[in-house]
Amino acid sequence: MKELSHWINGENVKGTSGRFADVFNPATGEVQAKCPMASAAETEAAIANAAAAQPAWGATNPQKRARVMMAMVGLMNRDMDKLAEALSREHGKTIPDAKGDLQRGLEVIEYCIGAPQMLKGEFTDDAGPGIDMYSMRQPLGVVASIMPFNFPAMMPLWHVGPALACGNAVVLKPSERDPSVPMMLAELFVEAGLPKGVFQVVNGDKEAVDTLLDSETIQGVSFVGSTPIAHYIYSRATANGKRAQCFGGAKNHMIIMPDADMDQAADALIGAGFGAAGERCMAVSVAVPVGNETADRLIEKLVPRVEKLRVAPYTDGDDVDFGPVVTREAKERILGLINSGVEQGAKLVIDNRNFSLQGYENGFFVGPHLFDHVTTDMDIYKTEIFGPVLSVVRAKTYEEAIGMAMDHEYGNGTAIFTRDGDTARDFAHRINIGMVGINVPIPVPLAYHTFGGWKKSMFGDLNQHGPDSFKFYTRTKTVTSRWPSGLKEGGEFHFKAMD
């Protein structure tokens, strides 16, 4: 049995707490590795190492820090296949999905090459008589990132990249369900030229998390996960005087207007609803067709597409549409919510509750499910399922459809499919949701824009990646400067009046 480690001060360090979490092969249900759960003492040691390394890294000029990011891009491209295979082996997603996970993280590292531009301050000449004013952006110091299982490469890179580019040291706590890729990325950062100790990886659970949240050394905390945990981490971090950005759950609606291209909308829902087994915070889990005729046409298009989806292990090739979910507990939770939908009166158009793969009967596979006639009081509508389940909620009017999305407690992403520009513009302006797609089902911004939701999908003021990330990981210092003015006569300065 493989025993994983922590990454402390630039090298693998064996865990000493005696506590381990099982890392499964989601396709077979077998335990493939043991992940050490760090004690408070081990976490504090990582924090201390980061604190020792940060001042020199923070004093390194932005161009040299950017060159580390540039080298990291080359190393990730070199090892792309190896990283993707390791990611799929622990998470279960297909190789193309794993490469997409890595690529979206890589794009943020590419954006961080522009750190010198992003870290420039402002300057005002002659703000007053002989007075100049200028601002500078300086790193927070040591920051912590607590990351989820569903994007074990992308999410750490979205946070660690900007934090390092700004001159901070980082202690990363990845998910214990798929921790290998974050460890591999830490090794690549050192190979790229990052000084040892600037980036630490501590595997663990609540004990490690609470140690990070309570540490006086940690100045900022970023988190991605469920809303209850996001709220807990934000509350505890800010109560301890830390800067925090915590991103929670989602229930993303896609509105389909009567004039939409129905084939385009159906294809979009298949990818957005079932890709990566629905384990994405930007997955579209609710389709809202406007009018019964629109809904009937949509269901007619969706059914054959859903029935053709191929569910299998990532090892079965690139034509696999999605693989297993991450754990047995996740599978049981998803099936429980599906059962609740049936019990509460929704029509289960495609029922794969008994889905099983020969040779992989113990794997964590959940087949695709399609509900129709879902109502807003049902658990499958209110709850983030995080599985391959698409609910169709019929709306009589556009106003009713937009109201559903606006009234839901989550506000991560949304989309509308229409040919009408006025409707699209109205939707984009009125909707109280952070990321909006117009004929785009998963409106994830590129690295040079920011990513973040509204309402209970986010706690904090600044989003992930883009310009907001450089603001989050730095403090602004403003200097007001005035120098005496005088002429040197006979070895002495005779100063002019300043006012």
Q: Are 208 and 186 in contact (CB under 8 A)?
A: no
Annotated catalytic, 281?
A: yes
Taking the CA atoms of residue 138, residue 140, residue 142 and residue 144 in that order, the dihedral angle to the nearest 10 degrees is -130
**Marked catalytic residue, from 35, 112, 246, 281:** 281
CA–CA distances in Å: residue 99 to residues 79, 457, 458: 11, 26, 26
Tokens of 414: 């949304």
- Contacting residues for 452 by C-beta, under 8 A, at least 6 apart: 245, 247, 434, 435, 458, 462, 463, 464, 468
Backbone angles phi and psi of 120, in degrees to 5? -65, 140
Q: Cα dihedral sign for 309, 313, 316, 318?
A: positive
- Contacting residues for 58 by C-beta, under 8 A, at least 6 apart: 138, 139, 141, 167, 168
Tokens of 236: 């505890």
Distance CA 495, CA 485 (A): 6
The burial class, CB within 10 Å (0-12 / 13-18 / 19+), for 48 is middle
Name the helix (H) or strand (E) containing 472.
helix 466-472
What is the side-by-side order of every strand in the sheet holding 252-256? Answer: 347-350, 369-372, 389-392, 284-289, 252-256, 413-417, 435-438
Closest listed residue to residue 281, CA positions, set 150, 108, 388: 150
Q: Which residues are catalytic?
A: 281
